[in-house]
Each structure stands twice: as structure tokens, then as C-alpha cells.
């Protein structure tokens, strides 16, 4: 979803800027920037940003702010961790704004909803899985890559709907009946694509995945 500038009152957008800016600064300070000194890692990071800008610019929707597109937050988070993922997805939102598919006033709110919620849910699921489930290759791929991606998309919808309803953009009943069900369908596509990408990464390029460790998920299994 890409919220346009005129959909909500300005107070919502300024509040979002006040929340997004310190979170972005925190991520910039805590991100392991030495990782991007490796050309392969930096190319992967920027490549993900470019691909997601293109994907997020291809939206489907019939009303302002009710567009749908693939998220990619789970793959980004599993590959680079939460701080790099939040920075990267914020840059994706900026790229989408440059393409004219989003506005600059609504930039922070879009970054929080798609980047912040997407990254937080993806990383939260990873931490829960890492703590409570067996550390096994198939657990990592299927629970984090497949189900985690679907839940991340659904989390964005669950958070966005109250925001749109409380802001008076659309009624809560309309959003539940006409918008939320599409997040369930989108979650299936997100799960399939993210799971496939993560499977290929951990098999052929495990060094690209910061949250995957051969010694923990493959050794003695």
C-alpha cells in the first residue's frame, strides 16, 4: 500500500515523521556498516532496493491508499537484519516517491507501515522461532521464509486498517470487508516467493543471509 499525500489529515503525516526519524537514525547508528564494505554484500543490498522499488511501483487498487503489492520485508530482514532492512525499505519508499507512486508528505507513514511493521514482524517471528523451535534447516526456511513472510504482509494490513479508519479515510467496516481479505491472498504469494528466494539463498549463497548459520541449522542434523 502506498498512501498518497492528500488522503489523511496533515497531523497524521507529521506524527509519522516524528516517529520515523528517530527510528531511522537509530537504525543508521546500529547497522553493521562494515558488512557493506564487501562488494558482494553491497551489491546485494542495493539490488534488493532496486528490485523492490520496481515491485512496489507495480500496484493494484481501485481507491487511493488501498493499493496492494508484494512486500519483500521478510527476505530483506533475514538477509541483512532489522536495521539494514528498515534503512533499505525506507529507501525503497523514497524510490517509489520519486517514481510518482507515492508522496513525500506521506513518506514517513508509508515507511513505518510497510518498512517498520514489515521488518518488526519478520524479525520478531525469527526471534521466536530461533528461541522456541528446533534449529533445523526446514524450520528456518518454512517457518521464517514462508509463514513469516505471509504473517508480515498480514501484519501490515492489520496495522494499516485501524490507521485508515481512525483517520477517517474509510470506514472500518468497509476496510474489513473489502480490503483485509486481499491481504490474505497477497500473503500466499508473498510466502511462496519469499520462501523460494530464501531456500535458494541458504543453499547456494548462505553468506548472503545474516540470520542463517550452517553450524546451527545444518551441523549434526
Whose CA is closest to 69, among 153, 170, 146, 5?
A: 153
Is the residue at 77 inside a domain? yes
Is the residue at 19 inside a domain? yes
Give the CATH number of the domain where residue 139 resides.
1.10.1760.20
Question: What pLDDT was estimated at residue 65?
Answer: 81
Is the residue at 2 inside a domain? no
Is the residue at 4 inside a domain? no
Instruction: Please give the model's pTM, rounded to 2 decimal places.
Output: 0.95
Describe the crossing of helices 117-132 and 73-98 by its angle, rounded to 10 degrees: 170
Distance between CA atoms of 158 and 117, rounded to whole angstroms?
10
Question: What pLDDT was estimated at residue 195?
Answer: 95
Residues of the chain with pLDDT below 50 are: none
Is the residue at 43 inside a domain? yes
Question: What pLDDT was estimated at residue 22?
Answer: 98
Question: What pLDDT was estimated at residue 59?
Answer: 72
Question: What pLDDT was estimated at residue 103?
Answer: 82
Contact 126, 84 (CB under 8 A): no
Distance between CA atoms of 20 and 92, rounded to whole angstroms?
14
Is the residue at 124 inside a domain? yes
Q: Considering its fold, how many domains does the chain have in total?
A: 1
**Domain assignment of residue 156, given as a range:** 10-217
What's the pLDDT tens digit per position in 142-166?
Answer: 999 999 999 999 999 999 999 999 9
Question: What pLDDT was estimated at residue 57?
Answer: 84
Question: What pLDDT was estimated at residue 90?
Answer: 98
Question: What pLDDT was estimated at residue 62?
Answer: 66
Is the residue at 5 inside a domain? no
Is the residue at 3 inside a domain? no
Amino acid at each position: 500500500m502506498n498512501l498518497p499525500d492528500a488522503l489523511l489529515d496533515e497531523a497524521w503525516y507529521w506524527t509519522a515523521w516524528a516517529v520515523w526519524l528517530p527510528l531511522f537514525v537509530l537504525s543508521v547508528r546500529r547497522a553493521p556498516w562494515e558488512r557493506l564494505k564487501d562488494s558482494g554484500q553491497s551489491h546485494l543490498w542495493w539490488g534488493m532496493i532496486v528490485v523492490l522499488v520496481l515491485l512496489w511501483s507495480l500496484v493494484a487498487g481501485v481507491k487511493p491508499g488501498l493499493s496492494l503489492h508484494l512486500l519483500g520485508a521478510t527476505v530483506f530482514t533475514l538477509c541483512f537484519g532489522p536495521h539494514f532492512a528498515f534503512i533499505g525499505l525506507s529507501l525503497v519508499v523514497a524510490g517509489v516517491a520519486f517514481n510518482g507512486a507515492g508522496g513525500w508528505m506521506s513518506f514517513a507513514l508509508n515507511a513505518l507501515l510497510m518498512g517498520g511493521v514489515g521488518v518488526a514482524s519478520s524479525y520478531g517471528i525469527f526471534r521466536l522461532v530461533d528461541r522456541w523451535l528446533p534449529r533445523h534447516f526446514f524450520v528456518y526456511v518454512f517457518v521464517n521464509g514462508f509463514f513469516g513472510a505471509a504473517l508480515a504482509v498480514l501484519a501490515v494490513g492489520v496495522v494499516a486498517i485501524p490507521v485508515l479508519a481512525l483517520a477517517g479515510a474509510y470506514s472500518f467496516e468497509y476496510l474489513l470487508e473489502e480490503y483485509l481479505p486481499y491481504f490474505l491472498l497477497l500473503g500466499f504469494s508473498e510466502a511462496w516467493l519469499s520462501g523460494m528466494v530464501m531456500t535458494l539463498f541458504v543453499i547456494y549463497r548462505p553468506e548472503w543471509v545474516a540470520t542463517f548459520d550452517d553450524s546451527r541449522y545444518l551441523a549434526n542434523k
